Amino acid sequence: MHEASLRLPAAILRFAVTSYGRGVVDLAWRRFSGSTSSHLEPDTPETPIFVPWCVYQWVPGPEVSDSREAEGLTLASRYLLRRSREQGPLALRYLAASAEAVFSFHDVVQVEPGTGLTMRDALTGAEAKVVEQTASQSARPGEILLARVATVDGLSIIDGCAPIGFPPLEKAGIIELRKRIRPGRRAISSATVREHELDLFATYRQIADRLLHPRPPIMQNTDGEPLVFARVSFEVPSARSAFDALAPLSIDSSPAELLREATFDADGELLAVELPWLRKGGPALLGSLTTLGRVMIDRQRVVVEVNSEERARKIRTIAEERLRDGSRHLATVLESLEAALESSRARGPSADAESEDLNSRPEVQRLLAERMKAHYREWPSMPLPALNGRTPLQAMRSREGREMVEALLLDFEQHIDRGPGMTREILAELRSRLAGAGSGRRTHPGQPTTA
């Protein structure tokens, strides 16, 4: 089977070029790629999907014909008209199976390394166990492949596969494609997928391009404000007067607690102290408080460090209201994230090494792990952008929602042991909790549902 899958496409392409000229391949490529002027380059990364599509799925127009008998046929079917007597029984059965196969997105359900994969068509719901030695060495459950599956005598092989597999979180794009091509609420057939094959390739290219050329993330703080490092400085009559005015910003500590780490002169006068600017409420992962900034008081100078322009403006307003007469705003200095990173690189690796040393301490690791575990246990009740603002428990009430929740869980599974918090026990706990949250009959993606 594998030998036939390698030999026959090349033979069919040679036949096509001999029969219709080299331009037939470029004509197919323009149709496949959606371009009106490009030519197929030998090193194009889409060759693994273009060749089987060109040979087995593309139906040339009347401009590519040498007889009325060949019109409306694929290149493989035209090849069989001329060369069928040269083929053995297995090759003929393989060509018939390849004519039936169609590119689609497949979820990797199970992997037997070195042997094969169990794959489920994300559009039709059809499931197949394919014999595949190479892909089974690297594929992981939850991965999404754009592939063709050909089955001969009960044996299935991958008969063309895109070079880039998608992680589970890309399932949302596949679900949207399925919604577009599904006729009403009926199941999707292979014929329907074939009719929308160019939509499949366009979806593949869009996702692959985003994965290969990711846009820089938009960095924001917990309030959704763009990250800008800001230092707001004030002149004050004394460190003590500034502390008395600004200590209430640290809502989780008393003045006495804040002063335990302060610096005093020989007469007991306050010289310097540092305190956090806090607000009640915050992400579950970080606790019940949100840190808005850091207030540093040093003799007659107050400097507040924050991470957005909005917070810089807010702390200036608060400070000017609370600081006693004789205080004045000196400056607000803004530094972009890019500039801050460049400045950090210029200072050398010492700061990073110090941070890594702190993070490697057992007590820090235990605290982070505990907070991560608490986060994951609250996760089923958290509204998520990937679920269009729904919680996983809410999403489990619909078929598409269940698919996306499963994709998120598979993503968790792929990242187990890469950091603190997520464990196989917690993952099993999440699956158990979510299993009973769905309503209605569970179905595969290609099967009709009951309302």
Distance of CA 144 to the CA centre of its chain: 12
Mean pLDDT across 345-356: 56
Torsion 23-24-29-31 (CA) sign: positive
Q: Where in the chain is the domain with CATH 3.30.70?
A: 228-347
SS3 content of the chain, % helix, strand, coil (to 5): 50, 20, 35
Mean pLDDT across 202-214: 93
Judge contact between 341 and 351, C-beta under 8 A. Answer: no
Question: Rounded to an integer, what distance in angstroms lies between the CA atom of residue 129 and that of residue 142?
Answer: 15
Q: Where in the chain is the domain with CATH 2.40.50?
A: 104-188
| Residue 1 banded pLDDT, cuts 50, 70, 90 | confident
With 0.85 as the threshold, say if the pTM is over it: no
Q: Beta strands 328-336 and 301-306: pairing type?
A: unpaired
Token pair 């057939």 is found at: 189
Model confidence pLDDT, tens digit, residues 60-115: 987 777 666 777 889 999 999 888 888 899 999 999 999 999 999 999 999 998 88
More confident residue, 380 or 359: 380
Distance of CA 212 to the CA centre of its chain: 12
CB crowding 69-94: b at 16 or more within 10 Å, else e: ebeebbbbebbbeeeeeebeeebebb
Q: What is the DSSP string of 325-349?
A: TT-EEEEEEEEEHHHHHHHHHHH-T
Question: Rounded to an integer, what distance in angstroms lies between the CA atom of residue 349 and that of residue 63?
Answer: 65
Cβ neighbours of 395 (radius 10 Å): 25
Which fold is adopted by the domain 104-188? OB fold (Dihydrolipoamide Acetyltransferase, E2P) (2.40.50)
Model confidence pLDDT, tens digit, residues 279-335: 987 654 445 788 999 999 999 999 999 999 999 999 999 999 999 888 999 999 998
Cβ-based burial of 298 (10 A; exposed 0-12, middle 13-18, buried ≥19): middle
In CATH, 228-347 is 3.30.70: yes
Torsion 60-61-67-68 (CA) sign: positive
Mean pLDDT across 216-238: 88
Indicate whether 450 pLDDT > 50.
no
Judge contact between 208 and 164, C-beta under 8 A. Answer: yes
What's the confidence (pLDDT) of residue 358?
56
Give me 428's structure tokens: 């099993």
